[in-house]
Amino acid sequence: MKQLLIYISTIVVLAGTASCNKWLELKPQDGLVREDFWKTKEQVAAAVTGIYASMLDNTSGKTLAMPEYLFVWGEARADMVTPGFRISANETDMVNMNILPTNTFANWRTFYETINYCNTVIKLAPNVLNEDNTFTQDMLNRAVGEALTIRGLMYFYLVRTFDQVPLKLEPTLSDNDLSSMAKSPSEDILNQIVSDLKAAENLLPDSYGNSAVDRGRATKYTACAILADTYLWMEKYAECAAECDKVIASGRYGLVSQENSLFNALFWTGNSVESIFELQYDAQKLNPFFNIFASNSRRWGAASHLMEEVYGVDLVNTIPQKDKRGDGMALRAEDGTIWKYIGANDAGTAMRTADQSFAHWIFYRYADILLMKAEAINQLDQPLEASRIVKTIRERATALDFGDAMDSTSKSSMEDFILQERAREFAFEGKRWYDLVRNAKRNNFAGLRYLINAASKSIPPDMQQSAFGKLRDRNSLFMPIYLYELQTNKLLVQNPFYK
Amino acid sequence: MTKKLFYTMALICGVFAACTKTTLKQSTTEDVNIVGYLRQHPDSFSLFEKVLVRAGYSDFLNAYGAYTCFVPTNSAVQLWLSKIKASNVEAADISTLQDMVKFHLLNDTLTTASFKDGKLPVPTMYGQFLVTGVAAGERGSSYLINRQGAVTRSNVRVGNGMIHVIDQVLEPAKQSIAEELAAKPEYSIFVEAMKATGYYDLLNTVNPDTSKRWMTVIAESNKALADSGIFSFADLKARYSHTGNPAGANDSLHMYMAYHILSGIKFLGDIITSPSHQTLQPQEVISTQLINQNVVVNENVFNGVLEKGMTIDRAGSDNAATNGVWHSIQAHYQVKYRKPTAVYWDVATFEEILKLPAIYRKSSKDFVRQSEADQPLKDITWGWGALAGTNVLTYYYGPTVSIGQYCNYQDAIKMPLGLPNRPTYLELRTPPIVKGKYKIWICYSARNQSTSSQQLCEVYVNGTLMPRTFNFVVKRPTGTAAELEAIGYKQYTENSASQMVGRLVGTYEFTTTDRQVIRINPINGTQNDNYLDMIHFIPVDENQIFPRFKPDGTQIFQ
């Protein structure tokens, strides 16, 4: 009996010590910790690639992929889209200007995740210079430049969507870094974006030597494009025009020519000569759009007035003239399908299948640079110059002349016309709402009519009057802070409109 | 034995020792109920809480339920108390307090997302509806309840419902529609007409039966009438009262008044969500639509002629009363008496195809329904066919093929029909048809998909089965026009090909001038090739054979 007990305890002790020769090791067995990472240039490159990867899809599984937010934020409250039969209650509330703090589209988490990846690269990449001799200053500049550009882009979306957000510039590397943060005023955020992008402009190369890579990674001109947009939002028009000129003068971008199918070049093939920065979806990484736009699960469709009031319908010629950006590119007119992300040809007959759903999400393209420049110089009292740029865009697209003609002598009518042209050019590219707000807020909300007109098209008749009342409150143009964030970060103060 | 006892004792001791009193949490949540919330914030709500207690409602508002409560702040209640001349809550009359609380309580949980330009979906416990809106003020926009209280804090979720804090006590309407209008001198002619026609009494009663209580009046001000050359009640009576007795139902002045009253409580937000509304004048509707943010009454296109409508004055409308709501209209309108007029409806001209100028009257086009829930066409729908691929409506254009070349404008719609696999019915909404008695002709291009195909169909008009059937594969029999009409056929095209068939399915009396619903139900056979070209609605006393239609759409009358 006693002997048996000794045997057993001996075996237990032996077995215990033998198996646990690393028994004081605290590192996880199935992952890397920071102390082992950030040693080589490959690891820096992987971290930078991770920034882009985080924009393709949600990383935590708790939120949506970023382009879904970009689409809903940029379109739902504007007049280009109409809810489909599978619309969610949260989206309907956005359409009707009834956003509550519990609305899941007010969740900014996806954006701060990407920001954190950027902050991490900015903070930890410089030290790799000491660890890896083959990691050069140029490589570091490039990595930090890319991170700064994307961080700028993320904050630019946040500041336009929420007005005031916490400005977090340090990475959250461990639980010790978790702390509550208050909102920063929008001016501070915008200034930070400008200084980030200016720095990035000097750090980034003109090109990576490969056309597709130039469109998928941030280059110098990506930073210029975002900066131009930021200046336009800040109403600094000379600076905006200067940034646009940098992109134009680079000679690296141009409009897809008139002979080619605009739809094929921009959306079916992707990475066109026109593109400046887009999210590189492919067969291995699909975008979230198939189920949003496909007709048997449609959440969003094209608004019904688009053909008649935005692109125009030619009833005169025997072979009707078409605005190339309308039917067959932005939408399929017969059933109001949003075609850019789901179409497979510009005849409107073939649709992408679910496993082909990898149309790129375009952040900026050359046409945007031109129209931003037009908007900026028009504000600098050069409506004639602006009208020439708009004309280039219109001729490329064989736009129809209908409704009010372009009046190149009047600044105010050009402002209106450029906004309309942007609606035609960038339909469903997540820009409409920001375009409306930017033009509305100019000169202390002198352009409020743009928002009211859009609301009168998109909001059901029984809610319009309420919506008009809400739009007169500047704070209503920005989303509420998500309830979960308010509960976990006690320093946040809700947007007063959502009292 | 002693050992056993010892163990038992030890066990018992153990049990007792373990049972020192642990405090178990008995509640599943610490959320408060409505009254609990008020008690947590006495600075803001102590007065309303006192009102609840004194009215005897604090207990039920602190129990399980699903309510929405608009809670006025202390300063609001104080103001209201001085208005009703009570120095404090204790001094106020209990029934007044009870009514006040009832008017602030709804039997549902409503967030601000369900606030529209009009009434809330459920009435208050007091019985009247609350109206919501948004007002833009100095300190930003806020919801305005009943045009009285602004919401200062919204969507407070409590255990038994939802609280919205308001800065003013809401007060229900005290007067009926008739009394409210009579109190306004600018409606004196309209009110006088109301009295003369006997509608004043109706609009002055609050029917205890809530299903009959509510009415909506569209009132014409003296100015609106003056714009139409009516300066006094005498003018109005002279113009309309042809029998001299406005109280009689046949008198046109009586009809004028009845035509301005809708049954049910319809705020502007409700009026614009429906294209037409039944008035108290039997079988007469007003049509309503939103044009450039204005609510416009009776703007219609009849036989290609646009009749301009009248605009409702938004600022002077949505006036709640004890028995309904009244609106003010900017111009004078009266029932339009229209003679029944034939409608030769080209079913291949529908809204969606008109948007495709490259297709319309130029080539064919499929409209595919991807799923049962998908509705690609606004005014045409069909019963979902079990075989998904048959759920296709084709806009068919065939200028060179015998099926299409004789059709009106050489186009038609092609629709697969029939059990077991194809769509189970086809339903179309007609253009506006003036009320009256019509013969209904289904005009199609006959076609067999295969020699044995059959496609016998019955037709429902506004849900009523027509006595005759028709068959999409059957050609027109031979005979003179009169012989054919006698057996319910006609040649409706200029071309006399026997495949172009007009088939009389029956006579129907439309009771309202409105857009009507035609449903074609297959009852025997099934095929894809059903080519429907036109549907004719011809008043019974008019020529049923002519006009015939040329391929270019012109009508020929002999």
Question: Contacts of residue B291 in chain A, CB cutoff 8 Å?
Answer: none
pLDDT at res. A368: 96
Tokens (6 digits) for B193: 């007409």
Q: Could you give the residue range(s) of every CATH 1.25.40.890 domain in chain A?
A: 2-63+107-204
Host H or E run for residue A213:
helix A211-216
Q: What is the mean pLDDT of residues A435-458?
A: 93
Q: How confident is the model at residue A116 (pLDDT cuts 50, 70, 90)?
A: very high
**Closest alpha carbon within chain B to A301:** B376
The confidence score (pLDDT) of residue B361 equals 87
Bridge partners, B145 (sequence order): B132, B149
Amino acid of residue B427: E
* Confidence at A432, pLDDT banded by 50, 70, 90: very high
Cβ contact, residue pair A469, B133, below 8 Å: yes
Q: Do B117 and A100 touch (CB under 8 A)?
A: no
What's the pLDDT band for A77 if we cut at 50, 70, 90? very high
Give the model's pLDDT for residue B118: 81
More confident residue, A107 or A405: A107
| pLDDT value, residue B17 | 57
Q: In chain A, positions 95-124, which contact chain B (CB-CB < 8 Å)?
A: 96, 98, 100
Residue A3: per-residue pLDDT? 76
CA dist., res. B388 & res. B378, Å (int): 20
Per CB-CB distance under 8 Å, the chain A contacts of B363 are none
Q: What is the mean pLDDT of residues A148-166?
A: 96
Using an 8 Å Cβ cutoff, are B286 and B276 in contact?
A: yes
Of residues B134, B153, B356, nearest to A333 (C-beta): B356
Please list, residue by residue across A446-465, b when 16 or more beta carbons sit within 10 angstroms of its beta carbon and e when fewer do: ebbebbbebbbbbbbbbbbb
- Residue A403, Cβ density class (10 Å: 0-12 exposed, 13-18 middle, ≥19 buried): exposed
A307's torsion region: left (phi>0), alpha (psi -120 to 50) or beta? Answer: alpha
Strands (E), B167-282: 215-220, 261-263, 276-278
**Per-residue confidence (pLDDT) for residue A72, from 0 to 100:** 96
Residue A324, chain B, CB below 8 Å: the answer is: no
Asked if B344 reaches chain A (Cβ–Cβ under 8 Å), the answer is: no
Q: How confident is the model at residue A249 (pLDDT cuts 50, 70, 90)?
A: very high
- pLDDT at residue B468, rounded to an integer: 93
- Looking at the domain A253-428, which fold is it? 1.25.40
User: Which residues in chain A are classed under CATH 1.25.40.390?
Assistant: 253-428
Q: Suggest the residue from A315, A321, A335, A487 to mutate for an interface test with chain B (most B CBs closer than 10 A).
A: A335
Please give the share of chain A, as a percent, with pLDDT higher than 90: 70
Mean pLDDT of all residues in A363-383: 95
Confidence of residue A20 (pLDDT cuts 50, 70, 90): low
User: For A2-63+107-204, CATH number?
Assistant: 1.25.40.890
Q: How far apart are CA A261 and CA A263, in angstroms?
A: 5
- Low pLDDT (below 50) residues in chain B: none
Read off the tokens for A156. 């630019």
Residues 450-479 (B) with a CB less than 8 A from some CB of A: none
Q: Given CB atoms, is A314 within the 8 Å cutoff of chain B?
A: yes
Contact list, A319 vs chain B (CB under 8 Å): 358
Q: Name the B residues in 377-416 with CB < 8 Å from any A CB.
A: none
Q: Which long-range contacts (CB under 8 A, 24 or more apart) does B484-491 make?
A: B485/B544, B485/B545, B490/B441, B490/B544, B490/B545, B491/B545, B491/B548
pLDDT of residue B1: 57
CB atoms within 10 A of CB B513: 23
